[in-house]
């Protein structure tokens, strides 16, 4: 229990990576670390492709805990997700009031102003808003609204975002 395993999806040629939550005479029950519900399918040991011991994020190799440590890690992830949701709901009105007030937009340094890049996609032009190499926002093809990550909405004036680059 607690190990992260890889197994094939029934309906396609893709694989699923989930954590083992229980093992009994019927088989193996799994659940994704970011899910609230246990998977409906009970796996048999022969269906497992393998066990995950590490993952790559960019240039870093991250160890994936298994066993009791893995179960504790998964519970911690769910607790953090729940806390973030509660804090977000509590601070939501204040955040939007600050974003609309424009206080932070006026003090944001000129050298850190976001840049807009346009990408030609099959369904239209997508725009991305970057500060340095960090994508802080995106406007999908056909949409008139920007999706800007928190807390950057505090610093970005959506109405006055200017076009800069066009990439294919």
**From CA 154, how far away is CA 109, in angstroms rounded?**
13
Q: In tens digits, what is the pLDDT along the chain, a chain of 168 residues?
A: 899 999 998 777 889 999 999 999 999 999 988 888 899 899 999 999 999 999 998 899 999 999 999 889 888 988 998 999 999 899 989 888 888 887 777 776 666 678 889 989 899 989 999 988 889 999 999 888 899 888 888 878 777 676 544 444
Predicted local confidence at residue 29, as pLDDT: 95
Cis peptide before 46 (omega within 30 of 0): no
Using alpha carbons, select from 46, 15, 12 the residue that is nearest to residue 28: 46
Predicted local confidence at residue 111, as pLDDT: 64
Predicted local confidence at residue 168, as pLDDT: 45
Cite the DSSP H helix spans in the chain.
67-101, 103-107
């Amino acid at each position: 229990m607690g190990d992260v395993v890889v197994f094939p999806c029934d309906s396609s040629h893709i694989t699923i990576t989930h954590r083992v939550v229980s093992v009994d005479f019927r088989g193996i029950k799994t659940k994704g670390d970011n899910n609230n519900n246990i998977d409906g399918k009970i796996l048999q040991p022969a269906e497992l492709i393998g066990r995950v011991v590490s993952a790559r994020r960019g240039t870093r190799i991250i160890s994936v805990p298994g066993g009791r440590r893995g179960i504790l890690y998964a519970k911690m992830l769910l607790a953090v997700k729940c806390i973030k949701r509660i804090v977000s709901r509590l601070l939501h009105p204040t955040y939007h009031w600050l974003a609309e007030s424009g206080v932070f937009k006026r003090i944001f340094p000129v050298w850190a102003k976001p840049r807009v890049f346009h990408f030609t996609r099959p369904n239209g032009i997508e725009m991305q808003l970057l500060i340095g190499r960090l994508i802080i926002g995106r406007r999908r093809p056909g949409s008139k609204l920007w999706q800007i990550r928190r807390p950057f909405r505090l610093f970005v004036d959506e109405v006055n975002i200017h076009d800069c680059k066009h990439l294919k």
